[in-house]
Structure 1
Amino acid sequence: MKPSKTAENIETKSRRDPFEWVRQKAAEAVVQAEQEAAETPRQMFLPGFDIGAFPNHLNRSSLIAPIARGRRKFHRQAAMVTRKDCVLEYTGEQLDEADGDLIMALIAFAQPFSLGAPVPLNRKELLRKIKPGGIGSTQYDWLYKSMKRLREGVLFLEARKPDGSTRYTVGKMESFNVLKELKYDGDSEAYTYTLDPRWVVMFGNREYSLIDWDKRMQIGRGLDMAKTLQRLLATSANPVQRYGLDALKAQMEYSGRMRDFRESLARAVRELERLEIIAKSCIEDSAKGKLQLAMWLPSSE
């Protein structure tokens, strides 16, 4: 096959311009490095937890949100809500808190294996971890759809330093799927899944949260907003945490009125208080006169 005229022009230009040649080789090296990172199995050890670890950048984003039933929209290379130290683009169906629970469980179940290696999944054992109560056809059907949704979801994440420069990227040249591979045997109804080795990067430098899973599983039905707040609280050790209502509303993909959002938020924080995830909370004015939610952790009283 003859090279394209564009490729010929680049090659000719690079021969004339040594700087262009260096830039071209550097770009090729980046592509090669990311491809190797996406294909090389890596071990990840997260000490001190059974289930409930998740990267902070994802916990602080709208990737997973407490969306209402029937409101699951499709994103196409959409810029998700994040903090200023992160850029996150996502293509796929909006993920909800149940999907988030599943991701955390899949990460925990993969602990004995190198990331990038196939992991056999006992679906009944997994559902017992993330779906308190009985297990039947409804739960199995949900698991099939959610696993498929995670396999199809594609991420690009760029973490930034305080000066705005790039710390690391995931999924820039080589696509990053929430699940890199997924196989399902309809006869045995067994799953085998593979996590992308680059999950290690997002968990690096202890940039992840450990969530109290027992309390998470006690959060009442219809109170997914409380689950979102629990993940957000886990990203910081500050005894008192404050979040602007406008930012929370955007992160939670809440499109309704602010008045309705505040009512839902009030129910969520009461649930966190009931489970002693927080000691108390209030809505107050920030120093800039904007409404914010303040939450006190139990040890801060």
Structure 2
Amino acid sequence: MRDLLSPEQHPDPLPGQIAWASQKALQAKQHRELKAAETPVQMFLPGMEEFLRAMPNHIARSSLFSPVARGPKKIHAGSVLVSRADAEIKFWGEQLDEAQADVWMQAIYEATDVPLGEPVVVTRASFLRGIGRDTGKSQYVWLHRAMQALSFAMLVIEVKQAGKHKLAIGQVRALHLVDSFDFDPRAETYSLRIDPRWKEMFSNREFALIDWGKRMQFGRGQDMAKALQRLIAASSDSVQRHGLDWLKAKLGYGSPIRKFREALLAAMRELERLELIAGGRIEMSKRGTEQAVWIKLDSSA
């Protein structure tokens, strides 16, 4: 019979044994991620309708897409994006803007009809119309450039819950916003592939539903309001508060805080016009710092 030892009699594991066990656990984790990246999977988004689009909460809350000015964009190389404390998102690629956020949300919407990982074929004209754009030559050029930027963009995402590790994506295989795309000039179609691992970011209803009809109604030069629409939709809280310093960093606003206040107030007025929020204002928090406050209206759910 095997001798039974008390806990006090069990020898401590040797450093080599600990290292071996850690290595095996890491290899198993890497294997699971690689398998997930290669296995097509159907993505069902509860509440998704034709007039809505979806974005994972952690992406909507981050600075991945920002209302940046036109012209040359900042190039990120492993930058840690502004986000909530429970998520760390590292990013490689050019800074993405709100128009490219529209393209990605439309691509995700198109991809819900087939298992993630399988080709999604869309005509470029219908895709442009789906994001509220015309079908002129310049728009086709812009769309192709947006597809290139999204396929180049690479992320590593780590999320914690109650201080414990929840998920990690992109550490052993690159995670792109659009995994790959092919353009057929004769048929004027794109064949897109969305990485199956994105399903994890949408799981457990952890995604924002964007009112697409209202998004198409934003006035010209209202990219900050469009960015705030995504942030608003990422929370179920009726009264929402965000520190001005955090908002300024998340929105990639480089001008002085005085100009940021003016732009933020203008964006809140636009959100009120579209009945996405009410009572938008800037006030002092209990900690003595400035914060933006608004009431989320039901139409933004």
TM-score (norm 1): 0.90
DSSP-derived class of the 1:101 partner: helix
**RMSD of aligned alpha carbons:** 1.7
- Tell me whether 1:88 sits opposite 2:119 in the alignment: no
1:280, 1:297 within 8 Å by CA — same for their partners in 2? no
Once residues 186 and 299 of structure 1 are traced to their aligned partners in structure 2, the CA distance between those partners, rounded to angstroms, is: 43
Once residues 26 and 236 of structure 2 are traced to their aligned partners in structure 1, the CA distance between those partners, rounded to angstroms, is: 39
- Tell me whether 1:152 sits opposite 2:122 in the alignment: no
Once residues 138 and 247 of structure 2 are traced to their aligned partners in structure 1, the CA distance between those partners, rounded to angstroms, is: 31
| Equivalence for 1:115 | 116
State the Cα distance separating 1:153 from its structure 2 match.
0.5
1:219, 1:271 within 8 Å by CA — same for their partners in 2? yes
- Tell me whether 1:238 sits opposite 2:237 in the alignment: yes
Once residues 138 and 195 of structure 2 are traced to their aligned partners in structure 1, the CA distance between those partners, rounded to angstroms, is: 28
1:65, 1:228 within 8 Å by CA — same for their partners in 2? yes
**Which consecutive unaligned segments of at least 5 residues does structure 1 have?**
1-15
Once residues 175 and 288 of structure 1 are traced to their aligned partners in structure 2, the CA distance between those partners, rounded to angstroms, is: 41
State the Cα distance separating 1:252 from its structure 2 match.
0.5
Once residues 95 and 67 of structure 1 are traced to their aligned partners in structure 2, the CA distance between those partners, rounded to angstroms, is: 8
| CA offset digits 1:213-267 (Å, max 9, x no partner) | 1011100111100011111111112221111110000000111111111111111
Once residues 173 and 224 of structure 1 are traced to their aligned partners in structure 2, the CA distance between those partners, rounded to angstroms, is: 34
State the Cα distance separating 1:23 from its structure 2 match.
2.5
TM-score (norm 2): 0.90
State the Cα distance separating 1:135 from its structure 2 match.
2.1
| Equivalence for 1:24 | 23
Once residues 103 and 245 of structure 1 are traced to their aligned partners in structure 2, the CA distance between those partners, rounded to angstroms, is: 27
| Equivalence for 2:162 | 162
- Tell me whether 1:203 sits opposite 2:202 in the alignment: yes
State the Cα distance separating 1:131 from its structure 2 match.
2.4
State the Cα distance separating 1:184 from its structure 2 match.
1.5
Once residues 65 and 57 of structure 1 are traced to their aligned partners in structure 2, the CA distance between those partners, rounded to angstroms, is: 14
Once residues 155 and 261 of structure 1 are traced to their aligned partners in structure 2, the CA distance between those partners, rounded to angstroms, is: 28
Once residues 41 and 23 of structure 2 are traced to their aligned partners in structure 1, the CA distance between those partners, rounded to angstroms, is: 29
- Tell me whether 1:278 sits opposite 2:273 in the alignment: no
Once residues 81 and 222 of structure 2 are traced to their aligned partners in structure 1, the CA distance between those partners, rounded to angstroms, is: 22
CA 1:279–1:23: 2 relative to 1, 3 Å: closer
| Equivalence for 2:190 | 191
State the Cα distance separating 1:160 from its structure 2 match.
0.6
| CA offset digits 1:2-43 (Å, max 9, x no partner) | xxxxxxxxxxxxxx9444333222222122111101111011
DSSP-derived class of the 1:159 partner: strand
DSSP-derived class of the 2:34 partner: helix
| CA offset digits 1:118-139 (Å, max 9, x no partner) | 111111111111124x320111
| Equivalence for 1:143 | 143
Mapping 1:60-75, distance limit 5 Å: 60-75=61-76
Aligned sequence identity (%): 45
DSSP-derived class of the 1:197 partner: coil
Once residues 41 and 197 of structure 2 are traced to their aligned partners in structure 1, the CA distance between those partners, rounded to angstroms, is: 8
State the Cα distance separating 1:71 from its structure 2 match.
4.7
Matched residue count: 284
